[in-house]
Amino acid sequence: MKGVILAAGRGSRLGEATESLPKPLMPVAGRACIDFAIEALLAVADEVIVVTGYRASLIEDHLAREWPAAPVRTVRNPDLEAGNLTSLGAARALIGDAAFILTNADHLFPADMYTRHFAPAADALQIACERERPVLPDEMKVIEKDGGLLAISKTLPKYDGAYIGTTVIGQTHRATYWSAFDRVHATQNLASASVEMVLHELAQEPVTAPRVYWLSGLKWFEVDTPEDLAIARESLSA
């Protein structure tokens, strides 16, 4: 099992804060945002692949300094203006034929995320979702049917809950997932194509639809805006 962290974006919603420092390196409780993702993944992954882009050298320097002995490697996505589908594509050769967990650098999960809350299985194709809290307008919303994903989009008028940006692609589903990736890559505008579009593609057939795993009691933070960053800092420093 490998972990893949998408960390190439500019993080423009944080405003001036990211002019000199990329969002994955924003300090929270004495750590960088990306450190939370790495720590959680290393509990279950043999290797973590970080896809960098905006101010990549700063992230690479941070990883070399803070995780010198850990199995963490980086790959650059040169297309900073494209959707994050291209970031996953940049990591594809390093992922190889392995099962993997896909997540984001700005999702601050606890260290036991994958050992207690969302344990990956070698034969799973599942997405982490929540439904016990209000769903914000900009979140990726999901509809479930019989435990499988039926639809995923930010614009769904009715929905069952929210996807929280983490997918497990087990070994037995790897080929199916990459086939869906290739279809999305070939048919969508790469300037806005996202990894969630792959989930949507898979959901078109019940036999390939990812399983929806509803998490309960998980305390985590997403850092998109200055307000998000302030909340994470206050909560995790307490």
| Domain ranges (residues) in the chain | 2-237
HEC profile of the chain: CEEEEEECCCCHHHHHHHCCCCHHHCEECCEEHHHHHHHHHHCCCCEEEEEECCCHHHHHHHHHHHCCCCCEEEEECCCCCCCCHHHHHHHHHHHCCCCEEEEECCEECCCCHHHHHCCCCCCCEEEEEECCCCCCCCCEEEEEECCEEEEEECCCCCCCEEEEEEEEECHHHHHHHHHHHHHHHHHCCCCCCCHHHHHHHHCCCCCCCCEEEECCCCCCEECCCHHHHHHHHHHHHC
Is the model's pLDDT at 65 over the cut of 90? Answer: yes
Q: Within 10 A of 198 (CB to CB), how many other CB atoms are there?
A: 27
Which tokens sit at 123? Answer: 């034969």
Which tokens sit at 13? Answer: 């919603």
pLDDT tens, 141-150? 999 999 999 9
Mean pLDDT of 94-109: 97
pLDDT tens, 138-176? 999 999 999 999 999 999 999 999 999 999 999 999 999
Of the candidates 118, 166, 112, the one whose C-alpha atom is nearest the C-alpha of residue 3 is 166
Q: Which CATH class is domain 2-237?
A: alpha beta
Is the model's pLDDT at 121 over the cut of 90? Answer: no
Residues in CB range of 145: below 8 A, 6 or more apart: none
Instruction: Give me the pLDDT at residue 81, please.
Output: 84
Res. 10 pLDDT band, cuts 50 70 90: confident
Instruction: Give me the pLDDT at residue 80, please.
Output: 83
Is the model's pLDDT at 238 over the cut of 80? Answer: no
pLDDT tens, 222-237? 999 999 999 999 999 8
Give the CA distances from residue 19 to residues 64, 103, 155, 211, in Å, rounded to whole numbers and listed in that order.
Answer: 22, 24, 30, 38
Give the CA distances from residue 222 to residues 16, 128, 143, in Å, rounded to whole numbers and listed in that order.
Answer: 18, 14, 21
